[in-house]
A and B are shown apart, each in its own frame.
Chain A
Amino acid sequence: MNQYRAFYQRIDKALHNNQLRRNFRSAMDGIRQRRLAQFPNDQQLQALRNQAKAIRNRSLTNQADLLEKLESKLIENGIQVHWAETPLQANALIHEILKAEGATSVVKGKSMVSEETELNHYLEKQGIEVIESDLGEYILQMAKEPPSHIIVPAIHKNRFEVAELFQKFHPEQPYSEDIDELTSCARQVLRKKFADADAGISGVNFAVAETGTLCLVENEGNGRLSTTAPRIHIAITGIEKVVEKLSDLPPLLEILTKSATGQPITTYFTMISRPRQPGEKDGPEQVHLVLLDNGRSLIRRNDELIDTLRCIRCGACMNHCPVYVHVGGHAYGTTYPGPIGILLEPQRLGIDKVGSLTSACTMCGACGDVCPVRIPLPKLINRLRADAVIAKPDKNGVPGTGTLRNRREAMIWKLWQQIYARPWLYCAFKYLATRLRRIKPPLSNGWTRYRPIPTPACRSLSELARQQGFDDE
């Protein structure tokens, strides 16, 4: 039960931080309105969601073939492909590439997969300087914090906190609390890093098998800089990001940017198919792609939970989640927060480790309604809740299935089932519950922590009805 205690402590901490809650509330309200403004016609939105779902399902159905096709096309184009089953393998692979080239400094574009593998930490331990170049990620690197949102990572910080960080780490720059000035300060600081870095590391939004093309979606241009200015580019992505055809891109790109930030398109959409060619004057001489599994191939074992892999990481589910809005991303304690985190992380890390996340859901259904690829999030989260307490775990189920089963809780439900399945027992129970209503079980946590235990009525409804002259029919 320790994971519950730790989780609830983080939630408590978040709920008592009024500044944090205000930051999230206003950010999420704004982002939701912008998304809504991009979808004025519901019929078109639903059609686009169907299309995006179909594309992702086709990709997942043929995933092994598509990955092989992607690999052969990339190699044909001169891009080197590496496979990793675990975060450690991925980190070691990346370190090997850097070491072989004598690279000691790295600029990074935003990549949630590299958060998954804790790549920065790994490389820094090997003596490599790693600079996050996305403004939000850079702020967090200074603050030594993980992202609290998968799209807007520093959403929990306000301008004053950011100004303090810049002052602490860059005292040579003039102090300012103005967002434009803070932005231009970041431009100055990071410019030098881009010019000097030996290698750039980025994520991938879509990997197109048909042409061997890696696509990046961004607004800042740091992704482009990281993948163009240094002499080596290493991209890292989860194996589920592969799509079959170029013609799959327009609908996915449209629904991704509209759902994520309410933009019809982002400032930059970069399609990388080759390293620098002879005669070209810039661009990396080497391009590498690291394909990471990290539990993804096992999620396929279940024909319901496989829907998790459709995710295109837009963040709309967390933007619309009433729990996320109140507690923020850090409370979850995992790489991916919000509804998609609740669904993905127990499958990736095990219910025994983070199954308690599933309790952070009110089953309101908002996430499922906005998901651009129609992942039935509430249904699947509910399923994980059931898996977590199941009596006879399925060996092929989610790791840690059944480990949150509580004997006392199971016994209470068993008893309830016995009583409710037998009319005579039920009548006896009802009689006792109403007559001995002052005797209440001493429950001290959960529901009753902030609420009194309700006292049963002195007579049951059927008794009252009979007294009033209604018969049993």
Chain B
Amino acid sequence: MMNSARENILKRLRFNQVKLEQPARNATRLEAWSREQRIARFSECLTAVHGEVHTLPADQWINWLAEELPKRGLQLLLTGSGEIGKQLLASKIENTLIHQYDQPIESWKPELFSQIDVAITGSHCGIAETGTLVLMPDKDEPRLMSLVPPAHIVLLDATKLYQTFAEVIEAEQWAKGLPTNVLLISGPSKTADIEQTLAYGIHGPKQLIILLLV
């Protein structure tokens, strides 16, 4: 049944050949933004959708966590097994427990879904035009980290802030192949399904905090 469905569909598509008009591409190109402009736009967009952006010197993020996590009552911190996780485990943050995502999800699903307060991950790059983080989760930073805990802290290297999504795809030659998942994240999880009123944290993080490292 399945194969005949495939053949039948393709046959019908080929039988009904069409040549549709393809108007010339005349989309206007944006002028190139400076680094400062990109940072400003990125922060402005994310702040507008309830994201937080903090610009920090690259070596200060652990200090920032040490200061802010207790203030915000975030106690159980989830890290990956990559560089960020290693640095955190080597440091001492008072009143914060660090859990490393080093086991397959099947072995600790209930804990992940109910106990973790906040996760911290890196990011692949950022997109200034829309205030977007690009994440490419891998075995060191699994994809549920950026989704299940109620708060998500992301480190972003300010030199990796592109202007547009199109620019990222072109500059990084994505057409040659993509990893398991590529995630574009532009704010905390939200919904407007009841009376078109915005509410945050419906399924994913309620808080999205970006530490922009300069």
Chains A and B come from one and the same complex: yes
**Which A residues fall within an 8 A CB radius of B?**
23, 26-27, 30-31, 43-44, 47-48, 50-51, 53-54, 57-58, 60-61, 63-64, 67-68, 82-85, 89, 93, 133-136, 139, 152-155, 157-159, 162, 179-180, 182-184, 186-187, 190-192, 194-195, 210-211, 213, 219-222, 224-225, 228-229, 231, 239, 245-247, 249-251, 253, 261, 264-277, 279-283, 291, 293, 297-298, 300-301, 303, 306
Known: A183-B194, A222-B202, A268-B183. 8 other contacts (CB 8 A): A47-B27, A51-B26, A179-B194, A228-B181, A246-B175, A253-B165, A269-B183, A281-B105
> Which A residues are in CB contact (< 8 Å) with B21?
57
- A282 and B164 CA atoms in complex are apart in Å by 29
Q: Which 10 A-B pairs have the closest CB atoms?
A: A221-B204, A136-B193, A57-B20, A300-B16, A269-B184, A297-B12, A183-B199, A64-B13, A221-B203, A282-B105
Given A54-B25, A249-B165, A297-B9, A154 contacting B194 (CB threshold 8 A):
yes
> Which B residues are in CB contact (< 8 Å) with A157?
194
Is the beta-carbon distance between A267 and B196 smaller than 8 angstroms?
Answer: no
> Which B residues are in CB contact (< 8 Å) with A194?
113, 203
Of the A-B pairs whose beta carbons lie under 8 Å apart in the complex, a sample of 17, sorted by A's number, is A23-B195, A31-B196, A47-B27, A51-B23, A82-B2, A135-B191, A159-B194, A219-B192, A221-B147, A224-B147, A239-B13, A270-B183, A281-B105, A281-B142, A282-B104, A282-B105, A306-B20
- A225 and B206 CA atoms in complex are apart in Å by 15
- A231 and B12 CA atoms in complex are apart in Å by 35
Cβ-based interface call for B144 (8 A): yes
Instruction: Out of B164, B181, B188, name the residue touching A267 (CB < 8 Å).
Output: B188
- A264 and B178 CA atoms in complex are apart in Å by 24
Min CB–CB distance B150 → chain A (angstroms): 9
Is the beta-carbon distance between A183 and B10 smaller than 8 angstroms?
Answer: no
Cβ-based interface call for B34 (8 A): no
- A190 and B193 CA atoms in complex are apart in Å by 15
* Segment at the interface with A among B54-62, B85-93, B166-174: B166-174
Residues of B21-40 at the interface with A, using a CB-CB cut-off of 8 Å, are: 21-28
**Which B residues fall within an 8 A CB radius of A?**
1-2, 5-6, 8-10, 12-14, 16, 18-28, 45, 49, 101-106, 109-110, 113-114, 129-132, 138-139, 142-144, 147-148, 164-166, 169-170, 174-175, 177-197, 199-205
Min CB–CB distance B91 → chain A (angstroms): 23
Which residue on B lies nearest to A287, using beta carbons?
B180
Is the beta-carbon distance between A239 and B164 smaller than 8 angstroms?
Answer: no
Is the beta-carbon distance between B204 and A268 smaller than 8 angstroms?
Answer: yes
> Which B residues are in CB contact (< 8 Å) with A280?
138-139, 142, 180
Min CB–CB distance A257 → chain B (angstroms): 9
- A22 and B130 CA atoms in complex are apart in Å by 33
Is the beta-carbon distance between B190 and A219 smaller than 8 angstroms?
Answer: yes
Is the beta-carbon distance between A220 and B204 smaller than 8 angstroms?
Answer: yes
Is the beta-carbon distance between B192 and A261 smaller than 8 angstroms?
Answer: yes
Instruction: Out of A93, A180, A250, A276, name the residue touching B180 (CB < 8 Å).
Output: A276
Is the beta-carbon distance between A54 and B147 smaller than 8 angstroms?
Answer: no
Given A89-B1, A182-B194, A247-B169, A270 contacting B27 (CB threshold 8 A):
no
- A253 and B204 CA atoms in complex are apart in Å by 21
Is the beta-carbon distance between A281 and B139 smaller than 8 angstroms?
Answer: yes
Which residue on A lies nearest to B25, using beta carbons?
A51
Is the beta-carbon distance between A247 and B175 smaller than 8 angstroms?
Answer: yes
- A456 and B4 CA atoms in complex are apart in Å by 63
> Which A residues are in CB contact (< 8 Å) with B105?
229, 281-282
Given A221-B189, A267-B185, A306-B18, A229 contacting B144 (CB threshold 8 A):
yes
Min CB–CB distance A160 → chain B (angstroms): 10
Min CB–CB distance B147 → chain A (angstroms): 5
Given A57-B22, A267-B49, A281 contacting B103 (CB threshold 8 A):
yes
Is the beta-carbon distance between B186 and A266 smaller than 8 angstroms?
Answer: yes
Is the beta-carbon distance between A247 and B23 smaller than 8 angstroms?
Answer: no
Is the beta-carbon distance between A211 and B22 smaller than 8 angstroms?
Answer: no
- Which interface residue of B22, B103, B183, B196 has the most chain A CB atoms within 10 A? B196
Given A228-B143, A268-B183, A135 contacting B5 (CB threshold 8 A):
no
> Which B residues are in CB contact (< 8 Å) with A251?
27, 166
> Which A residues are in CB contact (< 8 Å) with B131?
264-265
- A70 and B19 CA atoms in complex are apart in Å by 20
Is the beta-carbon distance between B189 and A265 smaller than 8 angstroms?
Answer: no
Is the beta-carbon distance between A277 and B18 smaller than 8 angstroms?
Answer: no
Is the beta-carbon distance between A220 and B202 smaller than 8 angstroms?
Answer: yes
- A54 and B19 CA atoms in complex are apart in Å by 12
- A89 and B1 CA atoms in complex are apart in Å by 8
Given A221-B202, A297-B12, A154 contacting B193 (CB threshold 8 A):
yes
Instruction: Out of B184, B195, B205, name the residue touching A159 (CB < 8 Å).
Output: B195
- A213 and B175 CA atoms in complex are apart in Å by 10
> Which A residues are in CB contact (< 8 Å) with B184?
265, 268-271
Is the beta-carbon distance between A271 and B16 smaller than 8 angstroms?
Answer: no
Min CB–CB distance B173 → chain A (angstroms): 10
Min CB–CB distance A178 → chain B (angstroms): 9
Instruction: Out of B13, B14, B179, B203, name the residue touching A190 (CB < 8 Å).
Output: B203
> Which B residues are in CB contact (< 8 Å) with A139?
193-194
Instruction: Out of B20, B164, B181, name the residue touching A271 (CB < 8 Å).
Output: B181
- A99 and B131 CA atoms in complex are apart in Å by 42
> Which A residues are in CB contact (< 8 Å) with B180?
272-277, 280, 283
Min CB–CB distance A197 → chain B (angstroms): 11
- A319 and B193 CA atoms in complex are apart in Å by 15
Min CB–CB distance B209 → chain A (angstroms): 15
- A46 and B28 CA atoms in complex are apart in Å by 11
- A93 and B169 CA atoms in complex are apart in Å by 34
Is the beta-carbon distance between B203 and A247 smaller than 8 angstroms?
Answer: no
Is the beta-carbon distance between A68 and B130 smaller than 8 angstroms?
Answer: no
Min CB–CB distance A283 → chain B (angstroms): 6
> Which A residues are in CB contact (< 8 Å) with B1?
89
Min CB–CB distance A88 → chain B (angstroms): 10
